[in-house]
Amino acid sequence: MALTEETIEDKIEIVGDYKHVQVRTATVIKRDGTEISRSFSRHVVAPDADTSGESAEVQAICAAVHTDEIKAAYAAHLAEQENL
Partner 1 sequence: MALTQIINTGIGQVTDIKIGGSGSANTLDDYEEGTWTPVDASAGSLSFTSVNATYVKIGKTVFIAGTLTYPSTADTNQARIGGLPFTSETTSPAISYTIPMTVATSTSAGVAIGIGSNKTSGYLRTLDNSVPTNANASGNTFLFSGSYNTA
Binding residues for partner 1 (CB under 8 A): 15-18, 20, 22, 24, 39-44, 46, 74, 77, 80-81, 83-84
Closest by Cα among 3, 15, 1, 30 to 66: 15
Least CB distance from residue 39 to partner 1, whole Å? 7
**∠47-48-54 over CA atoms, to 5°?**
75
Q: How far is the CB of 77 from partner 1 (least distance, A)?
A: 6
Which of 81, 84, 83, 61 shows the shortest CA–CA distance to 73?
81
Provide, rounded to whole angstroms, the least separation between the CB of residue 83 and partner 1.
5
Q: Which of 25, 59 has the CB closer to partner 1?
A: 25
